[in-house]
Amino acid sequence: MAYDNIHNTNAIDNHWIAGSWRNSEQDLGGLNPATGAVIGSYAAGGSKKARETIAADLTAKKSVPLRCHARERIMRLSRKPNEGGREMKTAKTFFMALLSMALLCSFAYAETPAGKNQGPSPRLLTPLNSALVLIDHQPQMAFATRSIDGQTLVNNVTGLAKSAKVFNVPTVLTTVAAKSFSGPIFPTVQSVFPGLKPIDRTSMNAWEDNNFVDAVKKTGKKKLVMAALWTEVCLATAALSALDSGYEVYIVTDASGGVTTEAHDMAIKRMVQAGAVPVTWLQVLLEWQRDWARQETYDAVLAVAKEHGGAYGQGIGYAKSMLGEHAGEGASK
């Protein structure tokens, strides 16, 4: 009986009625090692032995929820069947429950990871696998932003821009109607990239501008770290479009803002549901650094954190003043 035809229970019923468990053991052997033998042992009258065998088999599996669920089903369904004509019906019902349990355990066993440390997750950001995209950080957009304090917004997006500069992460800047309505990109951001001209657009969705999309493609990166004003319009439309174009999108929530807190929050939820990953600007900086032993960027990272990292930056300054300039996470023990 084929594995993918397991729902055809007529053959199973016939095996049960005829007591021909040898065939059933062969049919079920492909689902999980010794599954057919275990069920056959139980049906033949060795119920105690079978329960012990199943328990041992389940203990070897890695899926705790499924293991507990299966054990509970064994205990509940292994009660002594009623005497008389209901015995066969009860036995058949119990067999199907065991079969279902075997399927669950087989799937859990097949999908269990090796559990060995394979190194850093490929989901993590590195300076070599990501690009930064800053969208519409302009005065007119900031005026109506209410989900985040204005000064905090400027501080955070500037810190994010400087973080990309430290690690030479490819960066795309874009604005909407800069000369006719919204004004230039924040001066603190432009000063980080003095030679990088923002791509000005008319479309609210940056992904509908060919020049912008071409610039993103030229970075050669599939992980995009994106921040924008407003969250619910310019970030959401671009992020969703990038996701559907095959990119991995990391949305910097504290370097973006909406016209209300609810608008910002709902947009974040919408993007996360579509597959975007929410991050914060300081998280991005430290994820790019990852190891304090990377001395080539150590001082620059601390400089950005001291200037834009709030209390964390104050803590860095305190450690240096109290313990000396040699103090640092990357110092040898």
Selection from 101, 52, 43 nearest residue 73 by Cα? 101
Residues 162 and 259 in one domain: yes
Residues 189 and 44 in one domain: no
Residues 162 and 56 in one domain: no
Residues 205 and 240 in one domain: yes
The DSSP code sequence of 12-46 is HHHHHHHT-HHHHHHHHTTTSTTHHHHHHHHHTT-
* Matching residue, tokens 């004003």: 229
Other Cβ atoms closer than 10 A to 76: 10
Residues 150 and 106 in one domain: no
- CA angle centred on 47, ends 42 and 51, rounded to 5°: 90
Expressed as residue numbers, the domain containing 138 is 130-290
Mean pLDDT of 17-32: 41
Q: Please check whether residue 237 is in contact with residue 207, taking contact to mean a CB–CB distance below 8 angstroms.
A: yes
Check which CATH number belongs to the domain holding 252 and give it.
Answer: 3.40.50.850
Residues 171 and 220 in one domain: yes
Percent of the chain with pLDDT over 90: 58
Q: Say which range, 16-20, 120-124, 241-245, 261-265, has the weakest mean pLDDT.
A: 16-20
Mean pLDDT of 306-315: 92
The DSSP code sequence of 232-262 is IIIIHHHHHHHHHTT-EEEEEGGG-B-SSHH
- The two three-digit tokens of residue 224, written as one number: 């995009």
b/e string for 285-302 if b means 16 or more Cβ within 10 A?
bbbbbeeeeeeebbeebb
* Matching residue, tokens 């917004």: 153
Q: Is 319 left (phi over 0), alpha (psi -120 to 50) or beta?
A: alpha
Residues 99 and 198 in one domain: no
Mean pLDDT of 40-59: 50
Residue at 63 is within a domain: yes
DSSP tag of 220:
T
Upstream peptide bond of 230 is cis (omega within 30 degrees of 0): yes
Residue at 331 is within a domain: no
Residue at 198 is within a domain: yes
pLDDT surpassing 70 at residue 103: no
The per-residue pLDDT for 130 is 98
Residues 71 and 182 in one domain: no
Active centre residues (catalytic) = 234
Q: What is the pLDDT of residues 142-183, one digit of tens each?
A: 999 999 999 999 999 999 999 999 999 999 999 999 999 999
Mean pLDDT of 220-242: 98
251: amino acid identity, one letter: I
Q: What is the pLDDT of residues 65-88, one digit of tens each?
A: 444 444 455 445 445 445 555 555
Residue at 320 is within a domain: no
Residues 61 and 14 in one domain: yes
Residues 42 and 149 in one domain: no
Residue at 301 is within a domain: no
Q: Please check whether residue 284 is in contact with residue 163, taking contact to mean a CB–CB distance below 8 angstroms.
A: yes
Residue at 118 is within a domain: no
The per-residue pLDDT for 142 is 98
Residues 141 and 250 in one domain: yes
Binning pLDDT at 50, 70 and 90, where does residue 90 land?
Answer: low
Q: Say which range, 96-100, 220-224, 307-311, has the weakest mean pLDDT.
A: 96-100
- The two three-digit tokens of residue 88, written as one number: 């066969």
Q: Please check whether residue 6 is in contact with residue 104, taking contact to mean a CB–CB distance below 8 angstroms.
A: no
Residue at 316 is within a domain: no
- Residue 201 host element (H or E): strand 199-201
> Which range in 82-96, 135-149, 303-317 is most confidently predicted, on average pLDDT?
135-149
Q: What is the mean pLDDT of the chain?
A: 79
Domain boundary among 78, 111, 144: 111
For 322, phi and psi rounded to 5 degrees?
-85, -35
Residues 210 and 173 in one domain: yes
The per-residue pLDDT for 109 is 43
The per-residue pLDDT for 330 is 62
Q: Say which range, 58-62, 162-166, 211-215, 259-263, has the weakest mean pLDDT.
A: 58-62
Q: Please check whether residue 144 is in contact with residue 176, taking contact to mean a CB–CB distance below 8 angstroms.
A: no
- CA angle centred on 163, ends 306 and 276, rounded to 5°: 120
The per-residue pLDDT for 116 is 59
- The tally of domains found in the chain comes to 2
Residue at 191 is within a domain: yes
pLDDT surpassing 80 at residue 121: yes
